[in-house]
Structure 1
């Protein structure tokens, strides 16, 4: 697999993490309560931070030679 294709899949997974974290934040704020609310919100924010780090890495590593 070429480096360009690997970067594409990595950035796609980061976008998936962002989408998943948005759904989990919505669930934790409006649908859940108690300890489950805290757990889902914590996981959601960890996924959001992780996806931001991944996107930062993908953008600032520059273009890949083909």
Structure 2
């Protein structure tokens, strides 16, 4: 993998983790019940995918 591809994968990972932080903050402050569970699960999945992108860009 060349340096430019690693850079883009890393930036996508950072963006996904930032999006996950925004979603989990909104889910905790503004929602209740089932919607809160759905948003929290989506945020967790984005966090995991962002972490994997970051890990791939290091390797």
Counting helix residues as a fraction of each chain, which structure ranks higher? 2
Runs of 4+, deviation exceeding 4 Å: none
Unaligned segments of structure 2, at least 5 residues: none
Figure out how many residues of one structure are paired with residues of the other and give that number: 59
| Higher RCO (C-alpha under 8 Å, 6+ residues apart) | 2
Give RMSD over aligned pairs.
1.3
* In 2, Cα distance between equivalents of 1:47 and 1:19: 9
Report the TM-score, using the length of structure 2 for normalisation: 0.89
Unaligned segments of structure 1, at least 5 residues: 62-66
Matches within 5 A, 1:1-66: 3-59=2-58, 61=59
Report the TM-score, using the length of structure 1 for normalisation: 0.81
* In 1, Cα distance between equivalents of 2:4 and 2:55: 17
